[in-house]
């Protein structure tokens, strides 16, 4: 039976929430294994989690996408015997490529203090054996090319020579639910991903304007699913025209097309807030950054947010486009979002960039009057 | 006269806003030079900015903190002559440490197409000369240890061998104003910095509860000032007790101390929104992340945001603590924020973590009734 050591960071500090957080993390890890048809058992030991599985290599990549984990290592279990530990260190150092020009260090941790060798002694003995039998240069700093780890526990000793990075954050689900507007574009999936990273269960909402954009949105949501183990991403698809068409038509009749984007975004957000209420979600997430397009100005953000019944979270508000693109590539949504582009048919030639709440209220009043007239 | 080449990224794409953005960028660059008593002139040439100064080395570090710039390079001006260009490339390659085991590449750009050698030719001739006279290994990829640059313009040719990174973003001031709550802690200065990076002029507001925290807040604001050239950070300091004391006293009388943090944050934000209105700012920025402390839950964020007259921007909402700390170190606020710690005397033993808007409204009503009773 193979074994993987999984490390969590921030959630170790969570005080009395710790137990609940780690339970959710184990549950999400199990959901991840299940999604890939991997057999395995998941167990907490001290401040670590261990996965026991016959399919260590297949499990590493999926597990490296579980939020709450900071890193993982395939480990070898050996007897609680200094010779066995040293021998395994030498074997793993060789496997990891230690040799002339490749530096290494050994970090030992004696969780069981009854073991007759202290942590520094274990590190020294293993380090010397590697130097004698494999070569390489000792480098006790973080800069070492290869870091070997030894953990001595009551039941056995563990040795690892390879650390896989994981995304950090908090286990999906521990922080409750948010509605996330997801389009076919680059920004909104990244915004949703950042909230997943902070432990949110995402309720994706897409307003469908045409087939290709909707397919991109669905593919984006599927890509996000590869980070959402333990929380099922069930998209709600609504008709874009139904949500905003009548308002845009009236804005045209009033000669206020410059306000199209403002009223459109407000209509979508209001609907998303409604859905949030229905699903006991506490906020709506969107991909707004500041100043990336003409309509993403501070005055417009103020007017779009005005009187919204739920908080609007904008995790990308401080990001440069290059930073959003880098994250989208990492998540795997960039290629989906950029495979085609369809521009909005209602985008005015000169969208308003300096909206004001006073003007918003005035236009909204005129729209209401038209409605009364219609009736 | 020495010369520095400054490159801007995102703002080059800004369409019709470009002229205004670049003008603001030049103004901020001038303000930066002035802040360090550096003489220099600032000039746009094509999609680049040049700074002419006798104090190139002194100017590099301050200029590397101007938002809107992505990188800078000290450049040597040489005659528009292929031999002069090649000779200068060899000199700079030597200076940059090219030699055995150090790889290099030459990137040439012929802005003036009347120059008799094409860009690839210039690169090849300079590369060969370096190889002959200095040694080293050619590596045409981004991974090269040293990248030498050549720009041939109408008036002269420029050669550079050293690129200093700058923070990207947009020039401070182009996106308008926001009020930023600044405490003595780690998060709020980083949140403000991210909004400065996106072109905001920051109006810092601090609620003073004790001297040492206020000194930390002022030092944080001073540190932020090193990124805010062209925009004067004038802190508004208000009395914390005056803003929230009476409400906390009443909560105690009602036996609702668990709601202290909620009502405190709401009082500070409401005051900040007022200041935003006074200063024509469009939003209030705060350092909230999700789930970092017991009170930063989604339900609490919903209740704290409820009915706020301005949008509350939370640029750190999707950040891990480790990411915030890394940014704080880079900005230079981490050592200030951590030099002492004073905990809030009104922090209840069990702050509420699952606030609801209904309960908020109920408690607010009871607080109002007490007020009527007082009168």
CATH code of A268's domain: 3.40.50.620
Which position has the token pair 């991997």?
A38
- Based on the fold, state whether residues B122 and B209 are members of the same structural domain: no
Buried b or exposed e, range A101-140, using 16+ CB within 10 angstroms = ebbbbbbbebbeeebeeebeebbebbbebbbeebebeeee
- Based on the fold, state whether residues A156 and A64 are members of the same structural domain: yes
Element (H, E) at A357: helix A357-374
* Whether the predicted pLDDT of A315 surpasses 70: yes
* CB within 8 Å: A322 and B197: no
- Based on the fold, state whether residues A155 and A217 are members of the same structural domain: no
Residue B366 lies in a domain: yes
Residue B102 lies in a domain: yes
Residue A316 lies in a domain: yes
* CB within 8 Å: B301 and A315: no
Nearest CA-CA distance, residue B73 and chain A, Å: 21
Q: What is the pLDDT of residues A245-265, one digit of tens each?
A: 999 999 999 999 999 999 999
- Based on the fold, state whether residues A148 and A275 are members of the same structural domain: no
Q: What 3-state class would DSSP assign to B137? A: strand
- Count CB neighbours of B18 within 10 A: 14
* Whether the predicted pLDDT of A350 surpasses 90: no
- Which residues in A lie closer than 8 A to residue B174 (C-beta atoms)? 291
Determine the pLDDT at residue A280.
96
Closest CA to B139 of B165, B164, B102, B109: B102
Q: What is the pLDDT of residues A159-196, one digit of tens each?
A: 999 889 999 999 999 999 999 999 999 999 999 999 99
ipTM: 0.92
- Which residues in B lie closer than 8 A to residue A311 (C-beta atoms)? 301-302, 305, 312
- Based on the fold, state whether residues B160 and B187 are members of the same structural domain: no
Whether A175 has its CB under 8 Å from any CB of chain B: the answer is yes
* Whether the predicted pLDDT of A209 surpasses 70: yes
* Whether the predicted pLDDT of A75 surpasses 90: yes
- Based on the fold, state whether residues B17 and B144 are members of the same structural domain: yes
* CB within 8 Å: B317 and A15: no
- Which residues in A lie closer than 8 A to residue B20 (C-beta atoms)? none
A–B CB contacts, 8 A cutoff, strictly below: 119
Determine the pLDDT at residue B18.
82
User: For residue B161, what are the domain limits?
Assistant: 2-165
The CATH number that applies at residue B43 is 3.30.2130.30
Judge whether B28 and B230 are in contact, CB under 8 Å.
yes
Give the integer Cα–Cα distance in Å for B178 and B126: 49
Beta partners for residue B78, in sequence order: B157
pTM equals 0.93
- Based on the fold, state whether residues B249 and B123 are members of the same structural domain: no
Domain count, chain A: 2
- Based on the fold, state whether residues B155 and B204 are members of the same structural domain: no
Nearest CA-CA distance, residue B72 and chain A, Å: 18
Which position has the token pair 């609702």?
B256
Q: How far is CA B244 from the centre of its chain?
A: 31
Buried b or exposed e, range A158-183, using 16+ CB within 10 angstroms = bbbbbbeebbbbbbbbbbbbbbbbbb
Confidence band (pLDDT; 50, 70, 90) for A141? confident
- Based on the fold, state whether residues A83 and A206 are members of the same structural domain: no
Determine the pLDDT at residue B141.
87
Residue A171 lies in a domain: no
* Torsion sign, CA atoms B288, B293, B298, B299: negative
A298: nearest CB among B17, B178, B194: B178
Residue B170 lies in a domain: no
A282: nearest CB among B200, B282, B301: B301
Residue B34 lies in a domain: yes
* CB within 8 Å: A322 and B175: no
Q: What average pLDDT does this structure show over A289-294?
A: 82
* CB within 8 Å: A9 and B322: yes
Q: φ, ψ for residue A109 (rounded to 5)? A: -140, 120
- Which residues in B lie closer than 8 A to residue A283 (C-beta atoms)? 298, 301-302
- Which residues in B lie closer than 8 A to residue A298 (C-beta atoms)? 175-178, 200, 282-283
The least confident of A72-86, A90-104, B8-22 is B8-22
* CB within 8 Å: B318 and A198: yes
Whether A169 has its CB under 8 Å from any CB of chain B: the answer is yes
- Based on the fold, state whether residues A9 and A156 are members of the same structural domain: yes
- Which residues in B lie closer than 8 A to residue A290 (C-beta atoms)? 170, 175, 195, 198-200
* Whether the predicted pLDDT of A102 surpasses 60: yes
pLDDT in tens for each of the 375 residues of chain B? 799 999 998 655 556 678 888 999 999 999 999 999 999 999 998 888 999 999 999 999 999 999 999 999 999 999 999 999 999 999 999 999 999 889 999 999 998 899 999 999 999 999 999 999 999 889 988 889 999 999 998 888 999 998 899 999 999 999 999 999 999 999 999 999 999 999 999 999 999 999 999 999 999 999 999 999 999 999 999 999 999 999 999 999 999 999 999 999 999 999 999 999 999 999 999 999 998 777 789 999 999 999 999 999 999 999 999 999 999 999 999 999 999 877 788 888 888 988 999 999 999 999 988 876 765
């Amino acid at each position: 039976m193979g074994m993987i050591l999984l490390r969590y960071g921030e959630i170790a500090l969570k005080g009395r929430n710790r137990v609940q957080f780690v339970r959710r993390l184990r549950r999400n890890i199990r959901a991840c294994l299940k999604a890939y048809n991997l057999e395995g058992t998941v167990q907490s030991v001290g401040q670590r989690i261990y996965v026991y599985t016959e399919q260590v290599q297949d499990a590493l990549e999926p597990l490296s996408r579980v939020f709450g984990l900071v890193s993982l290592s395939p480990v070898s279990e050996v007897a609680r015997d200094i010779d066995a530990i040293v021998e395994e260190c030498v074997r793993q150092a060789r496997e990891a490529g230690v040799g002339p020009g490749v530096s290494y260090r050994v970090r030992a941790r004696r969780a069981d203090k009854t073991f007759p060798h202290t942590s520094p002694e274990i590190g020294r003995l293993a380090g010397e054996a590697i130097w004698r039998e494999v070569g390489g240069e000792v480098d006790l700093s973080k800069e070492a090319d290869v870091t070997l780890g030894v953990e001595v526990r009551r039941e056995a000793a563990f040795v690892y020579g390879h650390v896989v990075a994981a995304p950090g954050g908090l286990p999906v689900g521990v922080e409750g639910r948010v509605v996330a507007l997801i389009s076919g574009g680059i920004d909104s999936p990244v915004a949703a991903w950042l909230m997943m990273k902070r432990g949110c269960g995402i309720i994706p909402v897409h307003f469908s304007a045409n087939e290709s954009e909707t397919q991109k949105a669905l593919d984006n949501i599927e890509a996000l699913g590869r980070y959402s183990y333990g929380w099922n991403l069930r998209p709600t698809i609504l008709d874009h025209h139904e949500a905003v068409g009548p308002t845009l038509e009236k804005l045209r009749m009033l000669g206020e097309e410059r306000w199209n984007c403002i009223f459109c975004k407000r209509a979508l957000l209001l609907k998303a807030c409604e859905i949030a209420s229905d699903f006991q979600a506490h906020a709506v997430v969107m991909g707004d950054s500041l100043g990336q397009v003409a309509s993403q100005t501070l005055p417009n953000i103020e007017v779009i947010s005005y009187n919204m019944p739920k908080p609007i979270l904008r995790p990308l508000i401080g990001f440069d486009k290059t930073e959003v693109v880098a994250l989208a590539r990492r998540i795997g949504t960039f290629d989906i979002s950029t495979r085609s582009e369809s521009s909005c048919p209602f985008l005015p030639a000169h969208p308003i960039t300096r909206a004001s709440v006073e003007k918003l209220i005035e236009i909204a009043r005129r729209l209401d009057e038209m409605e009364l007239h219609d009736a």
